[in-house]
Amino acid sequence: MFKTIFFFIFFIVINTYSYAVITTGITTLHRGNGAEPETLDLHKSSGIPEATIQRDLFEGLVTESATGELIAGAAKTWQQSEDGTQWTFQLRKMGKWSDGSPVVADDFVYALQRAVNPTTASEYAFILWPIKNAKAISNGENKEITSLGVKAIDDFTLAITLEHPTPFLLGLLAHHMAYPLHRKSVEQGGKKWTRPNKLVSNGAYQLAEWIPQSQLKLIKNKYYHGAANVSIDEVVYYPTEDQSAAMKRFRTGELDITEDVPSSQIAWIKKNLAKNFHNSPYIGTYYIALNLQKPPFKDNIALRKALSLAINRHILTDKITKGGEIPAMGWVPTGMNQYQSQSMPEAKLTQQERIALAKKYYQQAGYSKQKPLEVELLYNTSENHKKVAIALTAMWKQVLGAKVKLRNEEWKVYLNSRSQRQFELIRSGWIGDFNDASNFLDLFRSDVGTMNPSAWKNTNYDHLMQQAEKESDATKRAKLMQKAEQILLEDAVLIPIYHYTTQHLVSEKIMGWQDNVMDIHPSRLLKKHTKK
């Protein structure tokens, strides 16, 4: 009798649940996201894990299509003056925040002023410097915050004045630093404004839940102007620094999309999960930054060159990363708009010639196998980063006799160590925020603060980049930036390792995914089959 009643109740519960699922029609997307987000504050984040989520929560004047191309976002149209310094944006009158209030021009003025305000202390403020007075304000040069070149003409008209013509402005405006903010919720929320039930967003989704080191859940923003075309109802992001564990979760159906794949499994993946594997070019550079504020790398170009030339980049990409990455002997990746990437002079040498030169530089720097260099390499938690770090230390040991210890830190701790320059060598990566060489080269200007990882300063480099930002002729502008890149490489400011490709596993249930060089895949543009 008990069993009969139990199974009858069980049948009722299961069928009630099934009916609820059918009637509610909730479609949930499960995404691996790499590291636990540092923060969702638009002006205090600097990594890809944060930007991916922010792209679902917010929408700038300009946004991206499934192919990574720039399209209308919160602004429906725009126009620029003949000299390229005055831009006017017409906002969508249907644009609304997740609380139902309208998105107005003042929301952009408030956000952009907050972004460059010195009290915000945004590491990324430099990206907005093309806007009139942005640099002076963020550097605290006695400029009132209201002097920033952004103005609300009326509720739905925003004017932006630039220091000089900026060909990549639209790409810049698609960056999270240029998203709008809901003033009331930010000011009332204080330091907690990015938490669930406090964060008010204008994108396709709103924040519903955030359990640190477990998951972050977004739900559809019913007030989003394009809500009718958003198919995915919920997006759950998971921290997945362990790529092997993430792949297992993908294979069991717990993840629809992985942020990366374990490099050691790529050959197996290509054979067994070919339909799910997406491997494509990516405008970014994986590199090692050196702390030039103190010994042993300060004022020691020979030592910096020795470490760089001792690396066999082809072995790293062929045997370790295995994802089709391009060995890098320069900083700016190939394929940037209207730019010819530069390479260090030693790129023309054979690997054996580079090794011989590396040993020569090592001795010039005052080191030998009897008196080895002893330093530490910091990397953030990742199975793939660890493998690269181990390979690098082995190469430096074998070729030079250098003793390099490894130090691993979780993402948030690693970011703090990087900004405080508490490292000697640090694994780094830079992904283009927009398709223009200046986005890579500006990183090493002496005036960008802690985003310049090595704290390198070179007046000639700064002067060339300042000239380039004012040059309207594309050919002349490219030549100025090429000279700057040559100086960067001659001074061995960084150790380029390879230019990125992206590797994802994407479920066959997912529709709308398109590979692109920006590796941008907003959840609002994806669809998911729910039938088994």
Reported as a single tens digit per residue, the pLDDT across 393-440 is: 999 999 999 999 999 999 999 999 999 999 999 999 999 998 999 999
Domain 29-224+506-528, CATH: 3.90.76.10
Encode 294-333: b = buried (16+ Cβ within 10 Å), e = exposed: eebbeebbbbbbbbbbbbbbeebbeebbbbbbebbbbbbb
Enclosing H/E stretch for 55: helix 48-57
Domains of the chain, residue spans: 29-224+506-528, 283-502
Tokens of 166: 């900026």
The arithmetic mean of pLDDT across residues 135-156, rounded, is 94
Note whether 430 and 494 are within 8 A (CB): no
Answer whether residue 19 shows pLDDT above 50.
no
> What's the half-sphere exposure (Cβ side, CA atoms, 13 Å) at 11?
6
Reported as a single tens digit per residue, the pLDDT across 499-515 is: 999 999 999 999 999 99
Q: 14: pLDDT confidence band, cut at 50, 70 and 90?
A: very low
Classified as helix, coil or strand, 510 is strand
Answer whether residue 6 shows pLDDT above 50.
no
Q: Which residues pair with 528 in a beta bridge?
A: 510
pTM of the predicted structure, to 2 decimals: 0.89
Burial degree of 437 (CB within 10 A; 0-12, 13-18, 19+): buried
Q: 25: pLDDT confidence band, cut at 50, 70 and 90?
A: confident
The arithmetic mean of pLDDT across residues 260-276, rounded, is 96
Q: Which of 132, 111, 130 is nearest to 59 (CA)?
A: 111
The arithmetic mean of pLDDT across residues 277-293, rounded, is 96
The mean of the pLDDT values for the chain is 93
Burial degree of 382 (CB within 10 A; 0-12, 13-18, 19+): buried
Name every residue whose Cβ is closer than 8 Å to that of residue 498 and which is 6 or more positions away in sequence.
285, 286, 313, 316, 317, 321, 325, 326, 327, 328
Q: How far is residue 214 CA from its own chain's centroid?
A: 21
What is the CB neighbour count within 10 angstroms for residue 224? 24
How far apart CA 255 and CA 276 sit, in angstroms, is 12
In terms of phi and psi (left: phi > 0; alpha: psi -120 to 50; beta: otherwise), the region of 83 is alpha
Q: 3: pLDDT confidence band, cut at 50, 70 and 90?
A: very low
Note whether 95 and 155 are within 8 A (CB): no
- Angle in degrees, 0-180, between the axes of helices 301-309 and 383-400, rounded to the nearest 10: 110
Answer whether residue 8 shows pLDDT above 70.
no
**β-pairing verdict for 75-80 and 86-91:** antiparallel
pLDDT for position 531:
60
Q: 17: pLDDT confidence band, cut at 50, 70 and 90?
A: very low
pLDDT for position 22:
35
Q: 7: pLDDT confidence band, cut at 50, 70 and 90?
A: very low
Pick the CATH number of 283-502 from 3.10.105.10, 1.10.760.10, 3.40.50.300, 3.40.50.510: 3.10.105.10
Answer whether residue 67 shows pLDDT above 70.
yes
Radius of gyration, CA atoms only, the chain? 25
What is the CB neighbour count within 10 angstroms for residue 7? 10
Residue type at position 205: Y
Answer whether residue 526 shows pLDDT above 90.
yes
Q: Which of 476, 478, 481 is nearest to 462 (CA)?
A: 481
How far apart CA 316 and CA 401 sit, in angstroms, is 19
Classified as helix, coil or strand, 508 is coil
In terms of phi and psi (left: phi > 0; alpha: psi -120 to 50; beta: otherwise), the region of 142 is left
Residue 137, CA distances (Å) to 112, 217, 481 in order: 11, 36, 25
Stated length of the chain: 532
Classified as helix, coil or strand, 516 is coil
Q: Which residues pair with 376 in a beta bridge?
A: 405
The arithmetic mean of pLDDT across residues 30-34, rounded, is 97
Residue type at position 461: Y
